[in-house]
Structure 1
Amino acid sequence: MLVRPVKAFALLSTGLLSGAFGYGAVNVAHAFRIVPLDVRLTFHTALMQVNGVVMQTLMPWR
């Protein structure tokens, strides 16, 4: 049956997504509080430029 692999993929992908959000909440947010504001803004700008390309690439898969 196709249902079991689909459920396994859904469980795996949601687990990976929650892990990514957890990592961001714990590590990246904490690091942003430590570094100077100009460093944070430079990094955040670069991150959003890359994120735009990544999200546009991944959205058709959804």
Structure 2
Amino acid sequence: MPHNLELAQKHAWSLARTLMTTVILFKSHDEYGVLPADEIEDGEVTPLFEYDPFAGARSVH
């Protein structure tokens, strides 16, 4: 998952639906990561996509 954006997006969406909370997919250096939105502080990471289990996915840029 760390280097494949499509796979990271699928995992992020699955995690959002499992936890029933909004998660953020971000990129750090050359790897992707996912964190619950309420655990990310401003400026900590650069978000790429937001996955809301109730509203779907949206690009953050």
**TM-score, normalised via structure 1 length:** 0.28
Q: RCO greater where, 1 or 2, for CA within 8 Å and sep 6 or more?
A: 2
Larger Rg: 1
